[in-house]
Amino acid sequence: MNNEPKNDPSPLSRLPRKSNNAAAFLTHDKVREDVPVEQIEPTLEPVDPTSPRPARAFKGFKFNFGPAFWTIASVISLSVNVILAIVLFVTWINMPSLNVKSVTDMGSGLLGGLYTNFEKMDRAHITRTIPVQATIPVKFDLLLNQQTNVVLSQDVTINNALVTVQTGGLNITRALTTIVLPQGTNLPIVLNLTVPVDTTVPVSLNVEVDIPLSETQLHDPFVGLRKVVEPFYCMINPSALNLDGQQVCK
């Protein structure tokens, strides 16, 4: 006889066997609170190698701008401070060789030149000759009332003219007759009439222009520039004179 145990295909064989640990048949959320933790045995669930692994959370790369900016700013500030310190040190070493009087004269010349040139600009004139080429329309009424002489351009016949003739043997008083005035006869007349004029007149001339800047809107800026330079100019040269020989510093 075959003494090997046979596989029991009944559903009862698939049930878990009785265990001395009462917590083995309970899930994690169904464990009673009165059961001590030491009596609960951990249960390991089998891992299926074919199941997909959970995706790992990707941590994005973040660039922190603050520390880099302050590092660069600190380096630049330190470099500028070092350069300024070197310049001050070199100036301090060369201080005995500097001529203070020459520096003062240079400042006086610079400020004095600015003050004098601003004063000259305020007194300057704009002079120029401007050629004018234009055509001017002319329209008006010309009144004439004067005596003048006219010359006949041809023979003129006057009919029924009253003529008075007194000679030694013949006297005619206010007789009607026909008179013919020959060409070239000079007759004195009086002109009394209105003549309308409507025409254009060409103009060609040179116009001289002389504009003083002190009478323009540039006067105030020039005076303001002098007022800005004046305090520094007086500090270096208290006895400065303007173009009129008057004291600048009062």
Distance CA 236, CA 246 (A): 17
DSSP letter at 95 equals: G
Residue pair 145/195 in contact by the 8 Å Cβ criterion = no
Over residues 150-187, the pLDDT tens digits come to: 898 999 898 888 888 877 777 788 888 888 889 988 98
Q: Tell which residue, 245, 250, 248, has the closest CA to residue 112.
A: 248
pTM of full prediction above 0.75: no
CA distance 167 to 161: 19
Q: Tokens 């002489």 appear where?
A: 149
Tokens 């000079």 locate to 186
DSSP symbol at 25: G
What residues are paired with 179 via a beta bridge?
158
How do residues 55-96 score in pLDDT, each as one tens digit? 454 444 454 555 666 777 787 888 888 888 888 877 767 665
Q: Which range among 100-109, 134-143, 198-207 shows the weakest confidence by mean pLDDT?
A: 100-109
